[in-house]
Structure 1
Amino acid sequence: MTLSVVQCTDESRWDASVNALFGHPQQLWGWGQTKASHGWSVDRVLVQDGGELVGSAQLLLRKLPLPFRALAYCPRGPQTLPGREAEVLAALEVYTRRAHRPVALCIEPDWEADAAPARALAAAGWRSTESTILIGRTLILDLTLSEDELLAAMSKKHRQYIRKSGREDLQYQEVTRAELPKCLGVYRETADRAGFGIHEDRYYLDIFDNLGSASPVYAAFQGDEVVAFLWLSVSENTVFELYGGMTAAGEHLRANYALKWLAIQSMKERGAVRYDFNGLLNDGVSKFKMGWAKHENQLAGTWDKPLSPLYPVYSRAMPLARDGIRFAQSTAARVKPALKSAIPRLKSTIRGRSQTG
């Protein structure tokens, strides 16, 4: 039977479908709602076999200058029934091409790189790209393990610092919306110190409001001041770290150790089974992450399905368009000129081919 693809416009039904298929928090309604308020549009579709739900995908769509039209992006999706991945992707490809006519459909599925669905992507016409949005190399804790087992898997130093920071004169607790600006102040301080870009405060407040209980924030308080915070997003199955930061005082007190352990304990108690640290690089933050377990995980990575004859030009000449997905607001001003500058080269190439053909 041919699978059917239908739009979903009901928030409760959508989140229920994501959780029923053990989907990722970046596939929840509130995440798409936030992106739709900050330069994107969103299309949520259910993939059905008769009356049975076999998959779903939240597509984020970013307009690109002509002739490229748009890019369709499915963060950590789609989610499917086991064994139906290839069918769902094929149906999603047909739907996306007809409904949106983008230059490509980009997916970063929440699949292990050595799992059968990931290994089958290349044979189905998907193209692996190094221009990643969400980092595939990461650390995922199994929250079905006992706390003693999780502690045993950590480095000795991490266990020591959890105990040490837990004895400091700090209060560790979940953050209210009224306290959130203090966390954002710490985030700005952390970004300035480390030299990375962040969004305006409105973006983070929208995440908090739109995801609600699916996006808890934990903080270490020294008196009334936040010295460290950790921001999560959570589906029924998976926890995904979004943001975090520390002041100089928080770093001195090793507040991030007891804080992260509190978050892990809280998510385990909540019933989640996977805790994703959201990427490993070769930096100090990743070194801190890797001390929480003796293993690491490699997810499938970033894959494009070309949906336009212009995809080869897009993939060569427009890397800024893909890089802009990380911080679309801050990079949009650079993406558009890059795309426009490529159009004359594209026209020249087309004229050359027509003259020689």
Structure 2
Amino acid sequence: MICTVRSVNAKEEWHKILSLLNANQILQSWDWGEIKNRYGWDLERIVWEDHQTVLAAAQILTRSEIRFGINAKIMYVPRGPVLDWNNPILRKHVMDDLRRMAIRENAVFIKIDPYVPVGYGVEVNHNDKPDGVGIELVDELIQSGWKESKQQIQFRNTMVLDLTSEESELLSSFSQKTRYNIRLASRKGLEVRDGTSEDLNLLYGLYESTSTRNGFAIRPRKYYIDVWQSFMEAGMAQPLVVTIDDEVIAAVVMSMFGDCATYMYGMSSGQHTEKMPNYLLQWESIVRAKAYGCTRYDFWGVPEVFVDSDPLWGVWRFKSGFKGDVVRTLGAWDFASKRFGYWLYSNVIPSLLRLMQMRGR
């Protein structure tokens, strides 16, 4: 195999390459890279070729962070690289190139986060099915000096629903409780409509309310409005809002890339929960995704460990009723090209930040 590596500088060509590689991860899309570039990340899009045949691609984000006087350059490949992971020679070649790139760029480390399954199903239910390629890759990464990252940026596990069945068949495949709650919401007078750009500030308010109730941190308003607006303008996102008596009580922003729709952002006011708005909203998102031609619906995050102490357990109880297939992925892995700097970045600096937060500084 003779691989040449080159940069790609045109959106149309980049998305064509991703299509050739059957890559439907929106975080590798051109548009996601442009958004991150506006918020401090440098980016490079590269492709591996053998005699002009595309073999692999990676959108690489790079930034320098100064913390406590330490300048740390980090590199990140969100939901990438993308390639045929069944090819052991190719995957070794690409991973070796990424390691060399981190060293050449004088980065403290490079983080990868490819969509590579290591298994399917819920382990604790004894219905799991290991994925041999993913398990082999874990061993190869360890042998090559990569480490499983302490900082998992994206959800490691997810649930994916196959949309190729008819709507009636999809609905009948859901749990009895989920079907009941979808119908209950309709009987209670809830309605779902497509959102527009004019709704985005309202959606952020709902998202902020959701984060406060559920105890997770979010970014400033400007960031989310930019993300949602950019994806909408590119035809890669559709907000859906559920109302009762013209009051918006919940919403989702569904992203679409390739053949996959993703439940990327969900938010609600916390009002009228007894009317089950989120069940109706999720069903309408699935219906819209199918109408847009998507064949997969990604629920974007389920527990890392399927026990009731997991932070996503409540979310899982809701999502599991839609009976998608659980996909357990490789997660994020780091290669430390500067071991001491990586140790400081991964251990000492986070501890100092936590101490400062505790002291209210």
Unaligned runs of 5+ in 2: 119-130, 304-309
Alignment of 1:275-290 (within 5 A): 275-281=297-303, 282=310, 283-290=313-320
Of stretches 169-178 and 138-147 in structure 1, the one that deviates more from structure 2 is 138-147
Q: 1:260 to 1:105 in 2, by over 3 A?
A: same
Match of 2:216 in 1: 196
Which of 298, 312, 329 is the aligned partner of 2:328?
Answer: 298
SS in 2 for 1:280: coil
Deviation at 1:298, TM superposition (A): 0.6
Match of 1:234 in 2: 256
Question: In structure 1, what is the Cα distance between the partners aligned to 2:257 and 2:212?
Answer: 31
Match of 1:73 in 2: 76
Deviation at 1:140, TM superposition (A): 1.3
Deviation at 1:276, TM superposition (A): 1.7
- Answer whether contact 1:215 1:234 (CA < 8 A) is retained: yes
Deviation at 1:160, TM superposition (A): 0.6
SS in 1 for 2:322: coil
Unaligned runs of 5+ in 1: 322-332, 339-357
Which of 320, 327, 344 is the aligned partner of 2:350?
Answer: 320
Match of 1:123 in 2: 140
Match for 2:249: what amino acid? V
Match of 1:5 in 2: 5
The structure where strand makes up a greater share of residues is 2
SS in 1 for 2:219: coil
Deviation at 1:308, TM superposition (A): 2.6
Deviation at 1:136, TM superposition (A): 1.3
Which of 223, 227, 232 is the aligned partner of 1:207?
Answer: 227
Question: In structure 1, what is the Cα distance between the partners aligned to 2:175 and 2:253?
Answer: 23
What TM-score comes out, normalization by structure 1 length?
0.82
Q: 1:253 to 1:227 in 2, by over 3 A?
A: same
Question: In structure 2, what is the Cα distance between the partners aligned to 1:80 and 1:294?
Answer: 25
Q: 1:62 to 1:320 in 2, by over 3 A?
A: farther
- Answer whether contact 2:138 2:330 (CA < 8 A) is retained: no
- Answer whether contact 1:144 1:273 (CA < 8 A) is retained: yes
Count of residues in correspondence between the two structures: 325
2:103 is the counterpart of 1:97: yes
- Superposed CA offset, 1:223-278 (max 9, x none): 44321111122211322222111123342321111111111121122222322211
Match for 1:252: what amino acid? E
State, as a whole percentage, how many aligned pairs show the same letter: 26
Deviation at 1:53, TM superposition (A): 1.1
Deviation at 1:75, TM superposition (A): 1.3
Alignment of 1:327-338 (within 5 A): 334=353
What TM-score comes out, normalization by structure 2 length?
0.81
Question: In structure 2, what is the Cα distance between the partners aligned to 1:31 and 1:223?
Answer: 36
Question: In structure 1, what is the Cα distance between the partners aligned to 2:336 and 2:271?
Answer: 49
Match of 1:348 in 2: none
- Answer whether contact 2:204 2:225 (CA < 8 A) is retained: no
Match for 1:188: what amino acid? E
SS in 2 for 1:165: helix
